[in-house]
Amino acid sequence: MTLIQKIKRLLNWSTRSSPHIDLNTELYQQLKPFRLPLILVVLMIMVGTLGYVIIDDFTLLDAVYQAGITFTTVGFGEISPISPAGRIFTITLIILGFGLFSFSIGILVEVLNKGQLVNIIKERQMLYRIARLKNHFVICHHNDITIELSKQFRENHIPFVVIDPREDIAKIAMQYKYPYFIKEDPHTEIALEKSYLSSAKGLITLSENTADNIAQIASTRLYEKEVGLKRPYYIITSATSDNDMTKLKKLGADRVISATKLMAERLRAMSLRPDMENMLEKLLYRKDAPIDMEEIRIPDHSWMRFKKLKEARLRDITNVSIVGIRDANDIFIPMPKGDVLVGTGSKLLVIGTGESIRATKRIIRKKQKPEELRYV
């Protein structure tokens, strides 16, 4: 990877110049009424130019200039003496020009009053902006959870697109500072294409209706197969009951969140261990927390595969602590010992500062054993 490609990847730049759906057909359809006025304008200029060349023997350049200022009624006067026949021709050209401009303005006002042209232009600009995103999240349905989630995403600089079918979604997006939004039914294929789901990291569906979340998961998984992605989308959804949570997981959701259950668990933790909960609030949940916790997947090319944890010496090199390991069968081992073997598809749950976690990721992703291990 070249330096320029690394910079583009760091700044989340994309080489794509156009989205999957650019609305060019819809835009041309709205501009179709302007074809006749434009054709008439060109014809009038041509007729005026030929008239001045034939009647008063103007040069081609003088004839075009005289026809232009006469047709547009700017009132610059005659650039050369004009015969009586030429003046009658000039008056006729002025009247026709005034009529044509009135006709064109009428068409312009009618198209603008419908509002579709302006909406298409705004949506087209939005689609081109969305096409530049990469590894973003697609959030389906606007509600109170979406509002709070968007705040967290903006604070952590996580790109996201909100999809909602409401007519006033543009006003809602302006009010709650959604940088990218789409007015469509989220489960439709056109909505998934407009949100550029093919380059997204995952999808979050937050409808209060379980049926909507089911339809969204099914549509996303089908779209995933059509695109032929190597890595499946990470889908998060919400549910109100244990039955719905089980059902959504079976249909393909990676995580199902219950707001009621989360609140109950948080209240229980506050009640039984208030000091510990306050400490976690300060250390993990705040955006300016001094330490962070993250689960890091061991890539297939990593040098750590089939090595023991103590051989990595991550504590000595990057100053992080491994508090858990999850194997390929999703079996979690808390506080693993140093002789635990890191297998294919394992995930390490590490805790440390943001800088130390980033350094740990770099070391884990290396193909060869890092040189730092020679000095520890």
Over the chain, what is the mean pLDDT? 82
130-154 pLDDT tens trace: 988 888 999 999 999 999 999 989 9
pLDDT tens, 156-190?
Answer: 888 999 999 998 999 999 999 999 999 999 999 89
Structure tokens given for 30: 């709205």
Q: What is the pTM of this model?
A: 0.65
Q: Is the pLDDT of residue 330 over 60?
A: yes
Tokens of 307: 């090595």
Q: Count CA within 13 A, CB hemisphere, residue 37.
A: 16
For the cut 90, the answer to whether the pLDDT of residue 21 exceeds it is: no
Do the bridges between strand 307-308 and strand 255-257 make them parallel or antiparallel, or are there none, so unpaired? Answer: unpaired
Mean pLDDT confidence for 245-255: 88
Q: Which tokens is 257 given? A: 């969140």
Instruction: Average the pLDDT over 271-278 and give the result.
Output: 64
SS3 298: coil
Indicate if the pLDDT at residue 366 is higher than 60. Answer: yes
- When mean pLDDT is compared across 116-120, 323-327, 329-333, the lowest value belongs to 116-120
Regarding predicted confidence, which is higher, 235 or 32? Answer: 235
Which residues, 6 or more positions from 358, have their beta carbon under 8 angstroms from its beta carbon? none
Q: What is the pLDDT of residue 14?
A: 47
What is the token pair recorded at 74? 């700017």
- 148-151 contacts at long range (C-beta below 8 A, 24 or more positions apart): 149/204, 149/206, 150/176, 150/177, 150/178
More confident residue, 131 or 9: 131
Stretch 236-241: mean pLDDT, rounded?
Answer: 88
pLDDT of 257 above 60: yes
Distance CA 203, CA 253 (A): 10
Res. 67: pLDDT tops 80? yes
Q: What sign does the CA torsion over 250, 222, 233, 213 have? A: negative
Decide which of 262 and 4 is more confident: 262
CA gap 259, 145 in Å, rounded: 9
pLDDT of residue 285: 57
Residue 269 has a pLDDT of 65
Lowest mean pLDDT among 229-238, 289-298, 366-375: 366-375
